[in-house]
Structure 1
Amino acid sequence: MNLIKTASVCLLSVVLGQGVMAQTGWKAQSSTIKTRWAQEVSPTNVLPEYPRPQMVRENWQNLNGLWQYTITPKDAAMPSAFADQILVPFPLESALSGVKKPLLPTQHLWYKRTFVQTPLKNGEHVLLHFGAVDWQATVYVNGKETGTHAGGYQSFSQDITAALKDGENEIVVKVYDPTSEGIGPHGKQVLNPANIYYTPSSGIWQTVWMETVPAAYIAGLTLTPDVDKNVLNVSVNAPAGTNVELIATDNGTEVSKIKGKAGVPLKLPVKNAKLWSPASPFLYDLTVKLSKGGKTVDEVKSYFGMRKIAIQKDEKGVDRIFLNNKPYFNLGTLDQGFWPDGLYTAPTDNALKFDIEAIKAMGFNTIRKHIKVEPARWYYHTDKLGMLVWQDFVNPNQGLPEGAKAEYEKETKETLEQLHNYPSITTWVIFNEKWGAYDQQRITEWVKSADPSRIVNGHSGEMLYVNEQLRSPSPNAWVSADMTDVHSYPDPMNAPAEPGKARVLGEFGGIGVFIPEHQWNTGSAWGYIQEKPAALAAKYNIMNQHLKLLEADGLSGSIYTQPFDVEGEQNGLLTYDREVVKIPFEQMRSIHASLNPDLGTVPQVTAMNADLTDPIVAYSKMLQEYVGGRRDASFLFKLAMMAKQAGDKEGANLAGSAYIASLHAPYTPEQLDLILQFTNSTKDKGFAVLQQQLQSSNPQLEKRPVTVKLMNIVFKDVIDPVLQKSADPDWSAIANSIKPYGDPGDEIYLRAKTVYTFNKQDWSNYASAANTYLEKYGQNIPEQERNMFRQAIDNNKNQ
């Protein structure tokens, strides 16, 4: 019997709980690897750049830095004490937050900080801005609720003027984030550590800031270029009765000027426009002035790019993606925007910029931003550097619980409005591989109607091929979309031809290459296929040669998976810490040149070239040193990692056991991670160490992962052998056998009995087991699973 797969219940879906002790001051938590920019982060230097480059005012205050925080049960009142500190805007789960602990769906996360407000004058307002808070945020200023926002990826603002007082003021933010168990879009964040997806990012994860604005002020701009008509369509959101003046400049030289009324669409002439493209990403500066009674009352600085994106026929009558009325192959890569030290949040603005520079230095002209919405400055950098962006909407909760559809459409509408002005964004991607897909024709047509200035990839990967096998056949797969799109792993293929649609390869590649000492998860080197470092360039080149052939056959764009390793996925062209490039930049540009001949200015980026020595050869040399008697701890650690990656299980166990034996309490998080990796049996030395750690007060220990690991081992070694041998297991005997294993043994015993009797429909024994399990350990179970167990109890009371 496989307990892990039965009844749609997964042992490892037990949600991780708290395990990090209170922080007395900020210090970055440890991480297996970190980026070079992490060392620049401090409480006095946290993303200090102006966060909204398309609407800049001078009078603003950055609220990033140390806030107080606490976590309470979901039904608790606002806490009176905030004893711990967190570095905003890094997610709670990240190392750079200084906390690095998970937030459960049964909890609220609370933030608090103070600021000094100088007296306002002439009817001024104070706006409080949040770049993004995942997922639901309720804001209080001086004890007064000023508003609530749901949506983990959208910015929001509140006018907090009425709640302010002169002098010191207090902000409190309450956050609820059920991640994959809620109704909101959550991307690749999941609470289930057994899933291949990634660590959640709860709470504030983008810049928090305030600005003081006049009584009448510019609330927003909508900028839409029309290359064919040589105009920029502009709408200024400002109070009725005010007037606006728009001034476009090129390096300080005025290009055009126009006046009009606020709220009335305006057409700013841009004659002989310098067109924006990746090869020449020219941006005009834009000044917007608001006047009332002949007097200027507000002014913001912005910018715009003149570019056109469309599906048009080439000289052979083939439908292709056109940029500025010319065929343009979208040579792209799938960027997920994760960081080993900041998770969803880049350590610095230079780090944020580096990713785009590195991708351009590789020779790509397109980024598919994969089911994540980045901070405004990321899109500013794509505008400035010259990079087309296919922007994914964040997928709805795939189970589509009640309310998920409405929440998805609300957040998608906000995303459309928030990102409208960036010329780099040329394509909207609605659903990825049918994750939570519904009403596809209606939603595709709604997006196209809401933003006719861009093209729409409605259903990326609705046709998914892995090793030439179609995994998800779909009728009418690309209804109403502007392109047909397939995902094909690992090797590229073309999408079908349909009238009026461009053909694109929405994902392909995924070649796994691990680089020792640059891995987030040393126990995993996942990719669709595995290659040694020395073989990657040749394999990658062959794939791109096939892309060139497919282009001649009508292919209009391709997206390679992926530019950077992400957590357990090591199929990036750069390592997760951005330190090692697996194919030299210059070589990649040469490989890409036939599909992207006009790259423009190549950014200067720094990364080490990968060591092309066969990892097995390097491991063999290390193993010989072990045979010769070398036993120092750092050597054993590296040997254990290399053995695991080389597939030498015996060597991995030897080195891992020797390493564990060399350690002594208190253990560092890295040491505990390795002990977890190399503990696979109740007889392993690491098992006893982990049992002891659960009873300790080690502030570095996240206890829930340790408990889950021990539960897995006890099930495998003690419980499952009995279940495999007997159709009528003696649960009393099993209960006695797990007593030496403490709470993990008790929890897995009750879980095993609950799932076993559920699957057997043995309702007479199920009720008592399930009731006890839910009473003792229900807080560790996802809500959906709890409800399933309780419903089974209720439905079978009389049996």
Structure 2
Amino acid sequence: MSLKKFTTAVIAVIPCFLFAQEWQPKKAVLMTKYAQDVKPDKVLAEYPRPQMQREKWMNLNGLWQFEPGKSDGETLPKGDLASKILVPFPVESALSGVMEHHERIWYKRKFIVPVSWKGEKILLHFGAVDYESEVFVNGKSLGKHTGGYDPFSFDITPYVKGSGEQELAVRVFDPTDNGGFPRGKQTLHPQGIMYTSVTGIWQTVWMEPVPQANINDIKIVPDIDKSVVKLTVSSDASGATVNVKIKEGGKEIEVASGKPNTEISVPVPNAKLWSPDSPFLYDLDISLTQNGKTTDHLSSYFGMRKISVGEEDGYKKLFLNNKFLFQLGPLDQGFWPDGGYTAPTDEALRYDLEMIKKFGYNMVRKHIKVEPYRWYYWADKLGILVWQDMPSANSYTEHTPPVDTVAYASELTRIVKTHINSPSIVTWVVFNEGQGQHNTRGLVDMVRKLDPSRLINQASGGGHFGAGDFLDIHSYPPPAVPSSKDQILACGEYGGIGFIKPGHIWKSGPTYIMIDNEKDYTDLYDQYATDLAIYRTNKGLSAAVYTEITDVEVELNGLLTYDRAVVKGAVEKISASNRKAISEKLYLKDVLPSSQNNARNWKYTFTKPDENWFAGKFNDASWKSGEGGFGTSFTPGSSVKTVWDTKDIWIRQEFTLGDLENINFDDLALYMHHDENCEVYINGVEAAVRKDVTGAYGLTPMSDASKKALIPNGKNMIAIHCHQENGGQYIDAGIVTLTKEK
């Protein structure tokens, strides 16, 4: 499916006095290469709503008048405003030409309605305005809208005067941290994992003429089991008929008719299913006829795909088109160093998704932000599954006003309704990490009623109440897997491998783990991919999300730099690791079982022992005996049997091995969970040293010398020292063989 090129689109009319004022972007700490392609007379000029396309439209992006507002009760200023701004870039962004924060903003511009639109309704559309907006045409208020992430429209026909210049004005109020509204990762005090605020118009503003008897909306639901697509076409036209044509490669394959506001099932014979490997899109022509005449016509597209919960190997699993598919993708914050929430160009918007595909991912988690329709179009076309987060309220800041629960439910409802047609969206994520979390069961039920065709993640890394389809934990830096037979198991965030590229840094800040060279970077990424393949094969894991696709301000753990100028790790290596995580079957077999499932006895001490404490013949008679694992109960991924809450612990366990002739020593590895730094010895030989932390059991390579030190048909000794710095603490280990299904 290709997006139709509209030759009849009308260029927005911008007064000469605005063009006469030279626009210059501000200089942000970093700028993307796409910034040089931003021109004030042609800003994000592509058709903004690909799934409901009409031929006639007018783009109102470009230079507008601008000035800060003064108070809540302020009336519309008369005359020209004090300055200018490039719409639709938010006021804090460099590309807006302002790069300031103001809680209140006024916008103004002039436009002319084309003569050819005479006799039709004129609709004014806003992709998104953050947060509260009031719209005026020729000084008359059309109404207010609250919510920074959903599109809205007004019928401005009654307010247009004659055929000359018309005046459009917008008042904006955005409290950011000071209101309990959905705001995602925005803050007035950027630091850590919170970023520069976004205020005002940040998606395309546009107009279109529609007939008096017109199509208001469409809803598309594919049903691959019945090989039909279900369409509901909304219209207020009385006595009208809806006519539908399905096309494949320009060829008409099916037609159907029905009534507006009623579901129409259209057969899709021998349906080509949409998937990441084959993102086939069918074209739709939809028309409205009244008294035998066509009054309205639009084009759209859809994908035949099904997302569902299946069962495999005793676990609930993610099924795409009735088959299990492990979903792996990056976290995508959707911030730009020069545009804030707004990508500089459509090419830039597409680039991030193209890189996600090149890295070998099949999914992306759109993180507590909602994108313009065109982002979802590119995800649909490229074949990338989307987990769509609801932007959270009260995200990660000390100042947390009461959550506006009504506003949260309202905006969540609108986001689901306005993005329901995109085949790429497969999961709605209601909450993230407990930020502003409330009424989880009620909101999950609400989303289920709005859209029973998709899956629902109650809370990625947040409070879990048995609601929805997922049990989703976060684990840094290595991935982890939760335990349940009743819900889909997901690791909604892991990784966060930091890698600094000088000259491409917004500002340095802490991250989960920092690497200083590309080989170690890709090796560690591959190690985590191996963990995922093990969890998928042995523990029922269905999905994982890597943090993240790009650096964002002080976060330096992206696969790309924030300016999108540097790819930190070789694409082919990351892609190979991801293919392993998605499809390779890696099986674990215990050589020395850990205490993860069944506790084993260890000797332990909290007092620093003699230097040869790790030797096989060391006298540990004075040490205590206890069951593994050792740690504190609040440590993620732990199975604590013996409390360890001091700075250090030393543990030893004697074990007997049988015949090792059938074991490939290259397949041997430690299977351990350590929080934090640890050193492991086998029969007095150093097996591994880890200077990081895990949030779950995973593989640690053993040294060749320690493998050779193992004694078959005899007694062996494993000895471990673990050191605690902060947070949770835990230590336990075993030895396994890791084999790949051939």
User: What is the TM-score with the length of structure 1 in the denominator?
Assistant: 0.68
Moved more, 418-427 or 116-125: 116-125
- 1:537 aligned to 522, 528, 531, which one? 522
* Corresponding residue for residue 139 of structure 2: 143
Q: How does 1:364-763 map to 2 (within 5 A)?
A: 364-397=361-394, 401=401, 404-462=404-462, 477-499=464-486, 501-521=487-507, 524-534=508-518, 535-552=520-537, 553-596=539-582
Deviates more, 1:488-497 or 1:587-596: 587-596
Shift of 1:510: 0.6
More strand by share: 2
For the residues of structure 2 that align with 1:427 and 1:454, how far apart are their CA atoms? 6
Is contact 2:379–2:424 with CA below 8 Å preserved after alignment?
Answer: yes
Aligned to 2:182: 185
Tell me how far apart the structure 1 counterparts of residues 376 and 235 of structure 2 sit (CA, whole Å).
Answer: 24
Q: Does 1:92 align with 2:78?
A: no
Structure whose residues are more often helix by fraction = 1
Aligned counterpart, 1:259: 257
Looking at structure 2, the residues matched to 403 and 370 of structure 1 have their Cα atoms a distance apart, in angstroms, of 19
SS in 2 for 1:512: strand
The 8 Å contact of residues 326 and 583 in structure 2, kept in 1 or not, is answered as no
Q: Which amino acid is 1:531 matched to? A: I
Asked if structure 2 preserves the Cα contact closer than 8 Å seen for 1:227 and 1:324, the reply is yes
Q: Given the alignment, which residue of 104, 125, 129 partners 1:133? A: 129
Partner residue of 2:291 out of 290, 293, 298: 293
Structure 1: segments with no counterpart, 5+ residues? 1-22, 463-473, 599-799
Aligned CA distance change for structure 1 residues 532 and 566 (closer, same or farther; 3 Å): same
Q: Which has the higher contact order (CA 8 A, sep 6+)?
A: 1
Contact 2:177-2:400 within 8 A present in 1 as well = no
Amino acid in the other structure paired with 1:305: G
> Residues of 2 paired with 1:514 and 1:452: CA distance?
43
CA deviation string 1:259-281 (max 9, x = no partner): 01111111011121000000000
Q: CA contact under 8 A between 2:38 and 2:345: conserved in structure 1? A: yes
Any conservation in 2 of the 1:533–1:582 contact (CA below 8 Å)? no
Deviations 1:527-575 (A, max 9, x none): 1111112321111110111111000121000000001000000000110
What SS does structure 1 have at the residue aligned with 2:581?
coil
In 2, Cα distance between equivalents of 1:118 and 1:591: 55
2:112 corresponding residue in structure 1: 116
- Equivalent AA in structure 2 for residue 587 of structure 1: K
Contact 1:512 1:525 in 2 (8 A): no
Does the C-alpha gap of structure 1 residues 403 and 193 become closer, same or farther in structure 2, counting only changes over 3 Å?
A: closer
Structure 2, unaligned runs of 5 or more: 1-19, 585-742
| Alignment match, 1:172 | 169
CA distance in 2, matches of 1:484, 1:402: 27
**Shift in Å, 1:183:** 3.2
Deviates more, 1:583-592 or 1:46-55: 583-592
- Runs in 1 of length 4+ with deviation above 6 angstroms? none
Residues 572-606 of structure 1, C-alpha deviations (whole Å, 9 max, x = no match): 011001111111111111111123459xxxxxxxx
**1:609 corresponds to which residue?**
none
Query: What is the distance in 1 between the residues matched to 2:257 and 2:327?
Result: 38
CA distance in 2, matches of 1:390, 1:421: 14
Deviation of 1:376 (Å): 0.1
1:708-729 CA deviation, whole Å, 9 max, x = no partner? Answer: xxxxxxxxxxxxxxxxxxxxxx
How far apart are residue 74 of structure 1 and its match? 1.7
Query: Aligned partners of 2:244 and 2:510: how far apart in 1?
Result: 52
CA-to-aligned-CA distance 1:472-505 (integer Å, 9 cap, x gap): xx5xx24222011110011111111132x11110
Alignment-derived partner of residue 17 in structure 1: none
Shift of 1:73: 1.1
For residue 86 of structure 1, what is the amino acid of its counterpart? I
Offset of residue 332 of structure 1: 1.1
Secondary structure, counterpart of 1:96 in structure 2: helix
Matched residue type, 1:480: A
Alignment partners' CA distance in 2, 1:528 and 1:307: 37
Q: CA deviation at 1:136?
A: 0.7
1:26 counterpart residue number: 23
Superposed, which structure 2 residues align to 1:165-244 within 5 Å?
165=161, 166-194=163-191, 196-239=193-236, 240-244=238-242
Aligned residue in 2 for 1:50: 47
Equivalent AA in structure 1 for residue 515 of structure 2: E
Given that 1:508 and 1:560 are in contact with CA atoms closer than 8 Å, whether structure 2 keeps it comes out as: yes
Partners of 2:189 and 2:54 in 1: how far apart?
42
Is this contact kept in 2: 1:25–1:84, CA < 8 A? no
Contact persistence 1:122–1:215 (CA under 8 A): no
Contact 2:135 2:144 in 1 (8 A): yes
Seq. identity, %: 47
SS in 1 for 2:535: helix
Moved more, 217-226 or 68-77: 68-77
- 1:270 match: 268
> How large is the RMSD of aligned CA atoms in angstroms?
1.6
Give the residue type in structure 1 aligned to 2:82. Answer: A
Aligned pairs, how many? Answer: 556
**Counterpart among 62, 70, 79 of residue 65 in structure 1:** 62
Amino acid at match of 1:481: G
443-452 or 352-361: which moved more?
Answer: 443-452
Does the C-alpha gap of structure 1 residues 180 and 226 become closer, same or farther in structure 2, counting only changes over 3 Å?
same
Which residue pairs with 2:150 in the alignment? 154
Gap change, CA 1:230 and 1:390, over 3 Å in 2: same
Structure 2 letter corresponding to 1:483 = F
Shift of 1:201: 0.9
Q: Deviations over 1:175-211 (max 9, x none)?
A: 0011121132000001123564000110000000000
Whether 1:320 aligns to 2:306 is no
SS of residue matched to 2:524: helix
Return the offset for 1:447: 1.1
Post-superposition Cα deviations, 1:20-69, rounded to whole Å, max 9, x if no partner, equal xxx96410101121111110001112100000000111110000000000
Measure how far apart 1:254 and its partner are: 1.3
SS at match of 1:594: helix
State the Cα deviation string for residues 231-259 of structure 1 (Å, max 9, x = none): 11110011232110010000111121100
For the Cα contact (< 8 Å) 2:222–2:306, is it kept in 1?
yes
Of stretches 118-127 and 226-235 in structure 1, the one that deviates more from structure 2 is 118-127
1:54 match: secondary structure: coil
Q: Which amino acid aligns with 1:530?
A: M
User: Structure 1 residues 121 and 172, CA, compared in 2 at 3 Å: closer, same or farther?
Assistant: closer
Q: What does residue 630 of structure 2 align with? A: none
2:575 counterpart SS class? helix
Paired AA for residue 585 in structure 1: V
Superposed counterparts of 1:9-20, under 5 Å: none
Measured in 2, the distance between the counterparts of 1:498 and 1:439 equals 24
The change in CA–CA distance for 1:44 and 1:121 in structure 2 (over 3 A counts) is closer
Q: Is the 8 A contact 2:392 2:436 kept in 1?
A: yes
